[in-house]
């Protein structure tokens, strides 16, 4: 890594104009203003920052006064400033107090000191600032904890005494493994040792905060880096004991590897751009440890779907994500036999839902790679082609797709509204799945009439 001067010079070029103009505006109003935190770290790594964070000695009420349309973001005095369609978070220098229950602080105190603000941040690479104090001419890099040097060595190191910092806020331990995976960094040995000791404290965290970090971890190029760290430090056993249970469970896949290794390979193989598939890859074999008997994992897909749902609920994932992931886990064992009839292919489509096909096949591909099998198995591809053909043909798979509805049955056949009518419609769906040619109004009325006749016959 270059010496700080050269680094500062490069930042003059990389920090976008709209961010610099915010710094300038604060400066012109007599304030210190800096780019700080993750955005500065990413800029120095030539990574596109997800957002730009600014810090200043201006108090929140002053910020709202200075920037038209600015709003308070949270009770910690972060202000969201709008500029050219983007939103920037501006946070007043602060000191944190009263960490209770190993979570984030209950009380913050605003300060005038940049270094004190940097000292409360989690890792050295997140504890740098670039900008200038009131009265200073040029922007400069402020790096009191050796962040630039750690960036160069690709090391994640806690600011200050790691055990103390992790006891203050246990989330920092999960952030450590998340950042190690996202950035491809090593965790400094003393920081890692502290995680091993303090890992049990993550039990105090809300599921929501853990879930947010897990999401970011799963978007890393190789999530397995962070997941392995979680397992090896004892974080996993606290956060997800059902995943921890996969360690040491034998698999007949890659020699010498266990079920946990298979899970990790599958997660890495799932596309980073598909968070739901990555989550499903992480959880697809959740049901295996508890169903293992006689060398088989009987119904592990069914058991696993329920376990996946429970785990994701604990981590406060949104309902649609929970439903999608548990659906994928439930059906990840699907067969692709060429002998399947067209009707069987349509039944599969009915059960899975066309909108889940891409994700389910992406999961299969990841599972295959994770099992050391060749991906893109021709049989799987052929099965997908047959499914796509049914989708393209708009195969009728539910009541809405029938050429008749309940009103027709009432009007034309004199059936009465009620559950029996619903059963006739469902039976018609089954018949149409078997033979799509039946799906026209006249034919279906005849079929329904025959069915109704059958039913009245058995009833009398």
Q: Which residues bind Mg ion (CB under 5 A)?
A: 38
The one segment of 167-175, 259-267, 290-298, 378-386 that binds ligand ATP by CB under 6 A? 167-175
By the 10 Å C-beta count (0-12 exposed, 13-18 middle, 19+ buried), 428 is classed as: buried
Q: Does 227 bind ligand ATP (CB under 6 A)?
A: no
Closest CB to Mg ion among residues 216, 431: 216
Q: Does 169 bind ligand ATP (CB under 6 A)?
A: yes
State the DSSP string of 84-131.
TTEEEEEEE-EEEEEE-TTSSEEEEEE-S-HHHHHHTSSBGGGS-EEE
Q: Does 211 bind ligand ATP (CB under 6 A)?
A: no
**Residue 121 binds which of Mg ion, ligand ATP, none (CB < 5-8 A, kind-dependent):** ligand ATP
Coil, helix or strand for 309? helix
- Give least dist CB 245 to Mg ion, A: 33
Chosen residue from 172, 265, 278, 364 binding ligand ATP by CB under 6 A = 172
Strand partners, 89: 53, 80
Instruction: Return all residues near 85 (Cβ < 8 A) that are at least 6 apart.
Output: none
Instruction: Please count the residues of this chain forming the interface with ligand ATP, following the rule CB under 6 A.
Output: 12
Closest CB to Mg ion among residues 39, 139: 39
Q: What are phi and psi of 7, to 5 degrees?
A: -60, -45
Q: Does 216 bind ligand ATP (CB under 6 A)?
A: yes
- Give least dist CB 244 to ligand ATP, A: 24
**Residue 169 binds which of ligand ATP, Mg ion, none (CB < 5-8 A, kind-dependent):** ligand ATP
Residue 145 token pair: 């904890």
Closest CB to ligand ATP among residues 146, 375: 146
Residues 29 to 88 in contact with ligand ATP, rule: CB under 6 A: 37-38, 50, 53
**Residue 21 binds which of ligand ATP, Mg ion, none (CB < 5-8 A, kind-dependent):** none
Q: What are phi and psi of 123, to 5 degrees?
A: -125, 155
**Residue 274 binds which of Mg ion, ligand ATP, none (CB < 5-8 A, kind-dependent):** none
The one segment of 118-126, 232-240, 307-315, 411-419 that binds ligand ATP by CB under 6 A? 118-126
Q: Which residue has the tokens 């107090």?
A: 97
Q: How far apart are CA 7 and CA 29, in angstroms?
A: 27
Q: How far apart are CA 131 and CA 71, in angstroms?
A: 23
Q: Does 19 bind ligand ATP (CB under 6 A)?
A: no
Q: CB neighbours (10 Å) of residue 80?
A: 17
Chosen residue from 79, 171, 176, 231 binding ligand ATP by CB under 6 A = 171
Q: Does 147 bind ligand ATP (CB under 6 A)?
A: no
Q: CB neighbours (10 Å) of residue 379?
A: 11
- Give least dist CB 104 to ligand ATP, A: 6
Q: How far apart are CA 70 and CA 84, in angstroms?
A: 13
CA distances from 342 to 266, 325, 345, 348 (A): 30, 27, 5, 10
Which residue of this chain has its Cβ atom nearest to Mg ion in the complex?
38
Q: Does 126 bind ligand ATP (CB under 6 A)?
A: yes
Q: How far apart are CA 302 and CA 411, in angstroms?
A: 42
Q: How far apart are CA 412 and CA 179, in angstroms?
A: 66
Closest CB to ligand ATP among residues 37, 289: 37
The one segment of 55-63, 133-141, 144-152, 166-174 that binds ligand ATP by CB under 6 A? 166-174
Alpha helices in 270-405 (DSSP H): 275-283, 288-291, 300-314, 319-331, 342-352, 357-370, 378-392
**Residue 147 binds which of Mg ion, ligand ATP, none (CB < 5-8 A, kind-dependent):** none
**Residue 57 binds which of Mg ion, ligand ATP, none (CB < 5-8 A, kind-dependent):** none
Q: Does 162 bind ligand ATP (CB under 6 A)?
A: no
**Residue 280 binds which of ligand ATP, Mg ion, none (CB < 5-8 A, kind-dependent):** none
Residue 18 token pair: 């709209």
Q: At what angle do helices 207-218 and 275-283 cross, to 10 degrees?
A: 110
The residues binding ligand ATP (CB under 6 A) are 37-38, 50, 53, 121-122, 126-127, 169, 171-172, 216
């Amino acid at each position: 890594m270059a010496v700080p001067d050269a680094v500062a010079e490069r930042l003059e070029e990389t920090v976008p104009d709209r961010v610099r103009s915010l710094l300038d505006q604060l400066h012109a109003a007599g304030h210190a203003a800096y780019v700080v935190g993750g955005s500065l770290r990413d800029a120095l790594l030539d990574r596109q920052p997800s957002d730009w964070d600014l810090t200043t000695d201006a108090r929140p009420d002053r910020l709202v006064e200075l920037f038209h349309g600015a709003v308070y973001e949270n009770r910690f005095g972060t202000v969201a400033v709008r500029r050219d369609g983007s939103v920037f978070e501006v946070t007043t220098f602060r000191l944190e107090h009263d960490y209770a229950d190993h979570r984030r602080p209950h009380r913050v105190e605003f300060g005038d000191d940049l270094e004190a603000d940097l000292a409360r941040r989690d890792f050295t690479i997140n504890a740098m600032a670039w900008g200038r104090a009131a009265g200073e001419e040029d922007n400069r890099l402020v790096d009191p904890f050796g962040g630039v040097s750690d960036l160069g060595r690709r090391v994640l190191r806690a600011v200050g005494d790691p055990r103390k910092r992790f006891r203050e806020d246990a989330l920092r331990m999960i952030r450590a493994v998340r950042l190690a995976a996202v950035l491809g960094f090593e965790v400094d040995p003393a920081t890692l040792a502290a995680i091993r000791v303090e890992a049990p404290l993550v039990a105090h965290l809300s599921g929501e905060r853990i879930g947010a970090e897990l999401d970011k971890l799963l978007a890393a190029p190789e999530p397995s880096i962070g997941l392995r760290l979680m397992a090896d430090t004892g974080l996993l056993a606290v956060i997800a004991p059902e995943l921890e249970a996969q360690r040491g469970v034998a698999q007949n896949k890659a020699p010498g590897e266990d079920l946990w290794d298979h899970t990790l390979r599958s997660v890495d193989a799932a596309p980073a751009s598909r968070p739901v598939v990555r989550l499903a890859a992480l959880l697809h074999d959740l049901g295996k440890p508890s169903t293992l008997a006689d060398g088989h994992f009987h119904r592990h897909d069914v058991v696993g779907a329920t376990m996946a749902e429970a785990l994701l609920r604990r981590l406060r994932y949104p309902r649609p994500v929970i439903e999608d992931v548990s659906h994928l886990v439930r059906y990840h064992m699907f067969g692709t036999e060429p002998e399947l009839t067209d009707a069987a292919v349509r039944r599969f489509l009915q059960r899975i839902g066309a909108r889940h096909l891409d994700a389910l096949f992406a999961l299969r591909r990841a599972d295959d790679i994770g099992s050391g099998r060749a991906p893109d198995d021709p049989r799987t591809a052929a099965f997908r082609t047959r499914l796509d053909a049914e989708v393209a043909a708009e195969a009728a798979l539910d009541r809405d797709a029938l050429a008749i509805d309940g009103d027709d049955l009432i009007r034309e056949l004199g059936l009465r509204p009620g559950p029996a009518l619903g059963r006739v419609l469902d039976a018609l769906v089954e018949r149409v799945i078997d033979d799509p040619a039946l799906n026209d109004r006249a034919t279906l009325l005849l079929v329904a009439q025959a069915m109704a006749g059958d039913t009245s016959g058995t009833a009398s």
